[in-house]
Amino acid sequence: MRTMQGLGPREMYLELLKACLTRTLFMNDVPGQDPAEKAKNREIRELGWDWPDEAETMIGMVRLGCIQECVEQAIVDGVPGDLMEAGVWRGGAVILMQGILTAHDVRDRKVWAADSFEGLPPPDSKSFTQDLEVDLSTFEELAVSLEQVKANFERYGLLGENVKFVKGWFKDTLADAPIERIAVLRLDGDYYESTIQILEALYHKVSRGGFVIVDDYLHLEPCRQAVDDFRAAVGIDDEIVEVDWNSIYWRVGA
């Protein structure tokens, strides 16, 4: 975590929020730990290389920083629309989105959290053969209930009336979700199927100047292929910006 010196109250709050969501804030509290091991563990967590036991997010400080930059730029530029993540796990990214709105006293945007809240399904062997090599359905730690995600929001005092949840498989829920416009859309669907379904249902709602952030584009080939296929199909040529070893984003109409 970077030093807090020289930060204003808003910036300090958001730095502390990110450090709490990742639990990097508490990683120095291991008595007798070797300094080199401590530094390595911190680097792993900051870059999102592990699945932490207690943290509300596994995406690390770098990707959380990207979310903050995109949301704050959308606020500054007056990009219309809500904030949304599809594939929320324990809710860390959307909790940060709500924290950013709170820190900036923004009250006219909603935060949407879409997920099955039951983990991932087995790959569809008939319609989406691209996913057959990436079966994540057996990982019980990826199944986090809606009640637990709401409790995680409440832990930070951020479960406001503007926080909305969309529960179910993306193919069944996103097309009819009552979302009008989106300023920042974050995808964390892992599979080709999930990723393409998010884009097909929601991309047309992203405002010009809005941001699309994709987790696992640089890490999981089915996710990359879905994004590339969709961009080619609808003629998107906005520049892809790499965030870290895993994630990318682009700005719509940039």
Summarize pLDDT for 88-143 with one digit per residue, the tens: 999 999 999 999 999 999 999 999 999 999 999 999 989 999 999 999 999 999 99
pLDDT at position 38: 82
Tally Cβ neighbours within 10 Å of residue 167.
15
In a domain, 47, yes or no: no
User: What phi and psi, each to the nearest 5 degrees, are found at residue 144?
Assistant: -120, 125
Q: According to the model, what pLDDT value does residue 41 have? A: 86
Of 115, 112, 69, nearest to 251 (Cα)? 69
Q: 2 in a domain, yes or no?
A: no
Structure tokens at 93: 């990214």
CB-count exposure of residue 73 (10 Å: 0-12, 13-18, 19+):
middle
Measured between alpha carbons, how far is residue 25 from residues 47, 102, 233 in Å?
Answer: 14, 21, 43
CA distance 191 to 195: 6
Q: Within 13 Å, how many C-alpha atoms sit on residue 186's CB side? A: 32
Distance between start and end Cα atoms, the chain: 31
Residue 108, pLDDT score? 97
Q: CA-to-CA distance for 39 and 21, rounded, in angstroms?
A: 19
**Spatial distance between the Cα atoms of 239 and 229, rounded to a whole number of angstroms:** 15
* pLDDT, tens only, 143-191: 999 999 999 999 999 999 999 999 999 999 999 999 999 999 999 999 9
Tokens coding 105: 């006293």
Mention every residue, 6+ apart, whose C-beta is less than 8 A from residue 143: 117, 118, 119
Name, in order, each residue with C-beta under 8 angstroms of 174's C-beta and a sequence gap of 6 or more: 86, 114, 166, 197, 198, 201, 202
Three-class SS state of 53: coil
Per-residue confidence band for 7, with pLDDT thresholds at 50, 70 and 90? confident
Please report whether residue 224 resides in a domain.
yes
Which residue range(s) make up the domain with 95?
A: 58-251
Question: What is the largest distance, in Å, between two alpha-carbon atoms of the chain?
Answer: 56
Residue 46 placed within a domain: no
User: For residue 90, what are its two tokens?
Assistant: 């324990």
- Any domain includes 131: yes
Radius of gyration of the chain (CA): 18
> In angstroms, rounded to a whole number, what is the distance separating the alpha carbons of residues 77 and 83?
15
- pLDDT band with cut points at 50, 70 and 90 for residue 34: confident
> What is the total count of domains within the chain?
1
In a domain, 190, yes or no: yes
In this structure, what CATH number is given to the domain that contains residue 205?
Answer: 3.40.50.150
Confidence of residue 39 (pLDDT cuts 50, 70, 90): confident
Pairwise CA distance, residues 121 & 123, whole Å: 6
Inside any domain, residue 16 = no
Domain-embedded: residue 6: no
